[in-house]
Amino acid sequence: MSAVTVVGTGYVGLATGAYLAHLGHRVTCADVIPAKIEALSGGRIPIVEDGLEALVREGLTNGRLSFVLGAAGAAAQGEFVFLCVPTPQRPDGSADMSYIVAAAEEIGPALQAEAVVINKATVPVGSTRVVEQALGRADVFVVSNPEFMREGSAVHDCLHPDRIVIGSDDQAAAMRVASLFGKVQAPMVITDPASAETIKYASNAFLATKVSFVNAVANLCEAVGADIREVALGMGYDKRIGFEFLKPGPGWGGSCFPKDTRALVHIGEQAGYDFGLLRGVIAVNEEQHDRVVAKVATAAGGSLDGVRVAAWGLTFKARTDDRRGSPAIEVIRRLLASGAHVRAHDPTVTATLEGLAQVEICADPYAACQGAAALVVLTEWDDYRWIDFSKVADLMERRSIVDARNLLDASALRRGGFAYWGMGRP
Ligand SMILES: NC(=O)c1ccc[n+]([C@@H]2O[C@H](COP(=O)([O-])OP(=O)(O)OC[C@H]3O[C@@H](n4cnc5c(N)ncnc54)[C@H](O)[C@@H]3O)[C@@H](O)[C@H]2O)c1
C-alpha cells in the first residue's frame, strides 16, 4: 500500500483517486473548489459517471480515500503525486500548461524527498522537463503516465485498461509507478517521457481520424446510394480495422479530441513537421457539423430563419454529463446563427446553458418538439429510442427528423408519417 496524492478532482482525478484507493492505496485528493471538496467528502460526486459514486463511497467508508482543499497540504502526504489538472486549448491551438505549472509550483516546496510526481494530464512533449523546473526540486522524480479512460466508462477503463503507459528517464522511478498498478491486469509500456507523451496525443488523433474517416465514407455512401451501416459491418470484421469508432455522427467532440488534435498539429509545427493529415481530419469534422445543419434546413423546408427546431441531446456522447466540445452544441450554435429557435432536451441538463441563453431547455423530449419544423437527434441517449413518436407527430409542425446518430428506426418513423434523414443511410 502506498500513500498517493491526486491533484485535481475532475473526471480523470476523481476516477484515478477512487480506483487507486480501491486497489488498496491510501489516497488524498485535492482540489481548489471548496464546494466540490465538501460534496466529495460527503460521498456525493458532481459528475455523471457510471459506478464512480459507489467507488468513492467505498473509499470513504474504508478510510482509504479522503478529499482536501489545496494541493500543497495533500502533496506533503504522498510518495506519489498525480497531476490531474486541466490542459485546455490556447488560441493558437497549443496546450495551456498554466494549471500544470501553477500546481507544480504550489506542491514543489511541500513534497517529500524521493517523491514521484506523475503527469496524468495530457501534456505536450517536453512537459516532464517543464514540471521538473516548476517543482524546483532536485530530489524528486517526474514521470509521465497518460490516461486513456473514456468518460461514461471511466471506472471500467481504470480497472481494465487496454494498456498502462509510463514514461521516465529513471528506470527505478518508472518501476515504482508501475508497482502502484500491480493488481491491474494490463500490458505495460515503459518508455521515455517524450514517447509516453506522444502516445497519448497520437492515440486520440488516431481515434479522431477513424471517426472523421467513417463520417467521410458515410457522406460518400449518401452520394453513391450505399448504406454506411452495411459498409461499416463489412469493414469492421477485418481485425485490422475493427468495429469500434466506425459509426457516423455529427462529428467528434468532447473535452479531449478537439484540443488534443489541435495541440498535436501545433507540436508538429513547433518541431518543423506539417501534420497535414491531421489538419484534414479536423477540417472534415468541422464540415460534418455543417452537414448536419444543412440536413436540418432541408428537413425544416429549406430555411432555418425564424424556424423552430427541436434538439435531442446536448452532451458530447451518451452516459456522461460533459458538454465540453460537444458536437451537439456546435450544431446548435450553427442552427442559432442561421436564425433558428432551438428548444432542447438532454437527460443531464435542467438549467439554461451558459453562453446559450437563447436555447430553451425542456423538461422532457416531447416538450422540445412543440411546434417544431424539424427534430434533430444529436446525442445517442437510449431514452430517445423509447419515445412515443405518435405523440411527437402530434406536437410537431412538420413531421421531419434528422437522426445525426442513426439511433432511430427509420422504417417505423416513415410508416408513422415522418420524413427521415439519417447519416450515410437510406
Ligand atoms: N476527461 C477525460 O475523459 C480525459 C481522459 C484522458 C485524459 N484527460 C486529461 O486529463 C486532464 C484533466 O482532465 P479532466 O477532464 O479531469 O479535467 P476537469 O476540468 O474535469 O478537472 C480538473 C480539476 O482540477 C482542479 N484544479 C485545477 N487547478 C488545481 C490546483 N492547482 N490544485 C488542485 N486542483 C486543481 C479543477 O478545479 C478541476 O476540478 C486534462 O489534461 C485532460 O486532457 C482527460
**Residue 9 alpha carbon to ligand 1 centre in Å:** 7
CATH number at residue 286: 3.40.50.720
- Cα separation values, 141 from 74, 135, 169, Å: 17, 10, 10
pLDDT of residue 303: 97
How far apart are the C-alpha atoms of 77 and 73, rounded to whole Å? Answer: 7
**Residue 47 alpha carbon to ligand 1 centre in Å:** 13
Atom of ligand 1 nearest to the CA of 7: 33
Q: What DSSP string describes 300-342?
A: TTS--TT-EEEEE--SSSTT----TT-HHHHHHHHHHHTT-EE
The residue out of 170, 191, 212 marking a domain boundary is 191
Atom of ligand 1 nearest to the CA of 103: 31
Atom of ligand 1 nearest to the CA of 255: 1
Q: Choose the residue to mutate in 85, 94, 151 for probing ligand 1, maximizing ligand atoms within 8 Å of C-beta.
A: 85
Report if pTM > 0.75.
yes
E strand or H helix that includes residue 99: helix 98-107
Q: Is the CB of 70 under 6 A from ligand 1?
A: no
**Residue 146 alpha carbon to ligand 1 centre in Å:** 12
Q: Is the CB of 12 under 6 A from ligand 1?
A: yes
Same domain, 183 and 261: no
Same domain, 254 and 285: yes
**Residue 296 alpha carbon to ligand 1 centre in Å:** 35
pLDDT tens profile 382-399: 999 999 999 999 999 999
Same domain, 102 and 198: no
Assigned C-alpha cell, 270: 513547433
The residue out of 138, 165, 191 marking a domain boundary is 191
Catalytic residue among 221, 256, 362, 369: 256
Same domain, 167 and 252: no
**Residue 83 alpha carbon to ligand 1 centre in Å:** 8
**Residue 31 alpha carbon to ligand 1 centre in Å:** 10
Q: Is the CB of 159 under 6 A from ligand 1?
A: no
Same domain, 142 and 235: no
Q: Is the CB of 406 under 6 A from ligand 1?
A: no
With both helix axes pointing from N to C terminus, report the angle between 276-299 and 257-270 in degrees, rounded to the nearest 10.
Answer: 150
Q: What DSSP string describes 21-70?
A: HHTT-EEEEEES-HHHHHHHHTT--SS--TTHHHHHHHHHHHT-EEEEES
Average pLDDT by stretches of 10, the chain with 426 residues: 97 98 98 98 95 98 98 96 97 96 98 98 95 97 98 96 98 97 95 98 98 98 98 98 97 97 97 98 98 98 98 97 97 98 97 96 98 98 97 98 98 98 97
Atom of ligand 1 nearest to the CA of 30: 33
Q: How many domains does the chain have?
A: 2
Assigned C-alpha cell, 387: 419515445
pLDDT tens profile 216-229: 999 999 999 999 99
Q: Is the CB of 197 under 6 A from ligand 1?
A: no
Q: Is the CB of 49 under 6 A from ligand 1?
A: no
* Residue 92 CB-density burial (10 A; 0-12 exposed, 13-18 middle, 19+ buried): exposed
How far apart are the C-alpha atoms of 332 and 289, rounded to whole Å? Answer: 9
pLDDT tens profile 355-377: 999 999 999 999 999 999 999 99
Same domain, 227 and 140: no
Q: Choose the residue to mutate in 11, 45, 81 for probing ligand 1, maximizing ligand atoms within 8 Å of C-beta.
A: 11
Q: Is the CB of 45 under 6 A from ligand 1?
A: no
- Per-residue b or e along 201-219, where b marks 16 or more CB atoms closer than 10 Å to that residue's CB: bebbbebbbbbbbbbbbbb
Q: Is the CB of 285 under 6 A from ligand 1?
A: no
Q: Is the CB of 158 under 6 A from ligand 1?
A: no
Q: Helix, strand, or coil here: 82?
A: strand
E strand or H helix that includes residue 105: helix 98-107
Same domain, 215 and 115: no
Same domain, 128 and 212: no
Q: Is the CB of 372 under 6 A from ligand 1?
A: no
Atom of ligand 1 nearest to the CA of 33: 37
**Residue 86 alpha carbon to ligand 1 centre in Å:** 4
How far apart are the C-alpha atoms of 284 and 56, rounded to whole Å? Answer: 40
Given a contact cutoff of 8 angstroms between Cβ atoms, the answer to whether 40 and 67 are in contact is yes
Q: Helix, strand, or coil here: 412?
A: helix
Same domain, 355 and 390: yes
Atom of ligand 1 nearest to the CA of 95: 41
**How far is C-alpha 59 from the chain's CA centre?**
25
Q: Is the CB of 69 under 6 A from ligand 1?
A: no
369 catalytically annotated? no
pLDDT of residue 35: 97
pLDDT of residue 331: 98
Same domain, 398 and 319: yes
Same domain, 183 and 211: no
In this structure, the residue with its CA closest to atom 24 of ligand 1 is 8
What one-character DSSP code corresponds to residue 331? H
pLDDT of residue 325: 96
Domain hosting 371: range is: 193-426
pLDDT of residue 359: 98
Given a contact cutoff of 8 angstroms between Cβ atoms, the answer to whether 163 and 188 are in contact is yes
pLDDT of residue 193: 97
Q: Is the CB of 102 under 6 A from ligand 1?
A: yes
**Residue 255 alpha carbon to ligand 1 centre in Å:** 10
The residue out of 191, 208, 227 marking a domain boundary is 191
Same domain, 374 and 265: yes
Q: Which residues are paired to 65 by β-bridges? A: 27
Phi/psi class of residue 355: alpha, beta or left (left: φ > 0; alpha: ψ in -120 to 50)? left
Given a contact cutoff of 8 angstroms between Cβ atoms, the answer to whether 381 and 347 are in contact is yes
How far apart are the C-alpha atoms of 331 and 342, rounded to whole Å? Answer: 11
Q: Is the CB of 369 under 6 A from ligand 1?
A: no
pLDDT of residue 113: 97
- Pairing state of beta strands 341-345 and 308-312? parallel
Q: Which residues are paired to 167 by β-bridges? A: 144, 191
How far apart are the C-alpha atoms of 62 and 205, rounded to whole Å? Answer: 39
